[in-house]
Structure 1
């Protein structure tokens, strides 16, 4: 069912949340645009200006690594100043109330943690861009350290422990999905009785299969997204209004 107006959408969503015992949100870029972080796929999004750099290119070529880090440094002020929006805060409120055990997210911006979710209850399917890791041994590096190396040499750095390239702790095209996170996400999708797919185009697989897993396991599905998705016909409720407006009433005090 597609909500016909904002008020009835909020009321119906509130009823569904109240009736559910376990609510699992699945979030995409749309929940963070209110926080000033641009999405990737829409017209004017990041990928309309720069094609993503595949993982194999990052591994193989210094120039690809340099370009990847140049782009990341260009976004540093955006990520550093971003604050959780109404959507993040509403989910955090439901989390504190015991309705939400964890949030599944395609986002890499750390805003769910900043909104009040414990770090271990944010299941990051595509990683996190607020820090970096060596792609060899996994050693963690802070962005400021990478920038310090960049300023000294003009190139993306290598690990001080094993000399492999250092990359943002995100999942690039062609890179293996994180097994533990995907397993936990699938289990949560199977256990919930309501899944909220929020701000995701639901076209990036395998993560986009999680709402289908929830639905096939007996959960109700709500899709909140400005544009239609391929999974709208599966949903019990489709809300095509601004995410902040829809979830704002659930922020609490």
Structure 2
């Protein structure tokens, strides 16, 4: 697979900002990965969560995914808190100029190996969190606030092993929310959950939404 052909250090923050060669290695794999992201489509889990939004039952989505698929499923961008960033955007670390990742992809496919800012010549970095890079404080704080204000917090398709994101359901539970965990395998928070629904997120969430829709129609 793709990960067998690249080293973890090719995705490190220090490697990316520290040398042009590091950026060259990153963009080599980044070009391939983004091509896959562009081809991706929302799955059953994304569609079920979007249906919750249309029912007026969704406050926000807190996600570690970077693929923009929640937005593509119809959820407003301001309702999606992206803890690891968004792969469809990039920005210059020097002057802050924003770029569409599609534009950067076109430049890579035209032969550029290390895209630089067209205004200041600075380093263009994807709007995603690399290894060794701090998570965005604003998004982390927003996730904590929304979790503590939730009446019901649903974990959908997460094994809850990546921290600090895995703490977010704990904040919700400690503040009095009902905790629902939907996952194919057990998690370390199952014992604290009010409801555990084992299975694939898309299948379980689709059934859950169908039952909620039936209640609304009644």
CA–CA separation in structure 1 for the residues paired with 2:89 and 2:184: 30
Match of 2:79 in 1: 121
Match of 1:90 in 2: 48
Match of 1:229 in 2: 187
Task: Check conservation: 1:189, 1:213, Cα contact below 8 A.
Answer: yes
User: Relative to 1, partners in 2 of residues 1:217 and 1:47: Cα closer, same or farther, differing over 3 Å?
Assistant: farther
TM-score, normalised on structure 1? Answer: 0.75
Whether 2:134 is the aligned partner of 1:176: answer yes
Equivalent position SS for 2:88? strand
Equivalent position SS for 2:161? coil
1:185 to 122, 143, 149: 143
Whether 2:132 is the aligned partner of 1:144: answer no
Q: Could you list the per-position Cα deviations for residues 124-182 of structure 1 after superposition, in whole angstroms to 9, with x for gaps in the alignment?
A: 11101122122233321122332343355542112223332112110112212212211
Match of 1:243 in 2: 201
CA–CA separation in structure 1 for the residues paired with 2:185 and 2:124: 36
Task: Check conservation: 2:147, 2:153, Cα contact below 8 A.
Answer: yes
CA–CA separation in structure 2 for the residues paired with 1:112 and 1:136: 30
Q: Which runs of 5+ in 1 are unaligned?
A: 1-43
CA–CA separation in structure 2 for the residues paired with 1:227 and 1:165: 41
Relative contact order: is structure 1 or structure 2 higher (C-alpha 8 Å, sep ≥ 6)?
1
Paired residue total: 209
Equivalent position SS for 1:187? helix
User: Relative to 1, partners in 2 of residues 1:136 and 1:232: Cα closer, same or farther, differing over 3 Å?
Assistant: farther
